[in-house]
Amino acid sequence: MSLALKPNHASVKAYYETLHEHGQLHFDHEGAVRRAFGDLLATSGSRTKPPLTLVTEYPIDRVRIRIDGALISPDNLVHGLWEAKDEDDDLPKEAKQKLDKGYPADNILFQSPKRIILYQSRVRVRDEGISKPEALVDVVNQFFNYKAPHIKEWEDAVEEFLGAHPRAGRRRQDDHRERRKAQSVPQYGRITKLSWSGLAWFPP
């Protein structure tokens, strides 16, 4: 993945404008926080190569939870996870509680209107105030540009396989092309099934 988001990007400006509309960064409605930041992640994901699709209310069956969002690659790999919290929540405490419950910590953002925590490879690598767009953009770029070891292994294996089977490579490209067309409208939604044949979308 590669993302070079800038503080003056339209999606960043829109995020802070939304927050100010809800009370100059002083509101406690998790739904509003979730939607505003989700829009930023969805827009950012569409700019990466390959593009990532934000799936809300993403189920993690092994711990029977639904996380606020997951960024999914065209190969149906989970690139990163996101959990939104209220401004009044103790974000480090909430993050620890979620991880203790079994939330994956390969690449996960815990976010509130004024603060963001990033875990990568089960290590807390960032804990920043995000009242300034420069700090937010820096963490978001790090989140998108990280590649977990299992994803790197998968990509290497796919590259090796497609090198030996060029027809499969062309079919894979066609499949990704058709999937992007199918996702062109519901870039931000809820998903219940992932498969090689495509995505099953339902409105949020």
Q: Provide the H-helix boundaries in the chain.
A: 10-21, 30-47, 91-100, 133-145, 149-164, 166-183
Residue 55 lies in a domain: yes
pLDDT higher than threshold 60 for residue 107: yes
Residue 117 lies in a domain: yes
Position 44 scores a pLDDT of 94
pLDDT higher than threshold 60 for residue 182: no
Residue 154 lies in a domain: no
Residue 16 lies in a domain: yes
Average pLDDT of the residues in 119-139: 95
Contacts of residue 161, defined as CB under 8 A and 6 or more positions apart, other chains included, come to 168
Position 86 scores a pLDDT of 84
Residue 144: C-alpha distances to residues 30, 46, 82, 90, 110 (Å):
23, 11, 12, 25, 14
Q: What is the mean pLDDT of the chain?
A: 78
Residue 167 lies in a domain: no
Residue 25 lies in a domain: yes
Does the global pTM surpass 0.85? no
Position 14 scores a pLDDT of 87
pLDDT higher than threshold 80 for residue 132: yes
56-97, pLDDT tens digit by residue? Answer: 999 988 778 899 999 998 888 899 999 998 888 899 999 999
Task: Print the domain residue range for 110.
Answer: 10-147+187-193
CATH of the domain at 71: 3.90.1570
Residue 113: C-alpha distances to residues 4, 24, 92 (Å):
22, 10, 14
Report residue 1's pLDDT band, with 50, 70 and 90 as the boundaries.
Answer: low
What six digits make up the tokens of 90? 């103790």
Length of the chain, please?
Answer: 204
Position 196 scores a pLDDT of 31
Residue 173 lies in a domain: no
Residue 156 lies in a domain: no
Domain count, the chain: 1
